[in-house]
Amino acid sequence: EAQVTQNPRYLITVTGKKLTVTCSQNMNHEYMSWYRQDPGLGLRQIYYSMNVEVTDKGDVPEGYKVSRKEKRNFPLILESPSPNQTSLYFCASSLRSGEGNTIYFGEGSWLTVV
């Protein structure tokens, strides 16, 4: 079954404690990205990756890092989380960018930073 899997699904952490949200897809997709969803703001792209070792900033990259060492994995790293990073995070993938390709989303990770 085609899947985008992200973990953890729910996390409460304290300010400044580094955390990583993992994302894995089993569809051999080239394109992966991270979004955060906040009330009234919809989904905003944090980072995206066109392929292995190719990453770029989205609209709201501050406070986040990513890496793409393998095609299937695209972890999101918060080096020093702050309360304004409390949000619902979605990982997504598609076969490749462009050409009207469908994005597949993970189920979301609820992150609370206190």
* Interface with another protein (CB under 8 A): 4, 31, 33, 35, 40-45, 48, 50, 58, 90, 92, 97-108
Strands of the sheet with 4-7, listed across from one edge:
4-7, 19-25, 76-78, 65-66
Q: Which residues of 102-114 are buried (b: 16+ CB within 10 A; e: fewer)?
A: ebbebebbebebe
For the bound state, the minimum distance from the C-beta of residue 17 to another protein, rounded and expressed in Å, comes to 26
**Least distance (Å) between residue 30 CB and another protein:** 11
Residue (8 or 82) nearer to another protein, CB: 8
Task: Give whichever of 77 and 103 is closer to another protein, judged by the CB atom.
Answer: 103
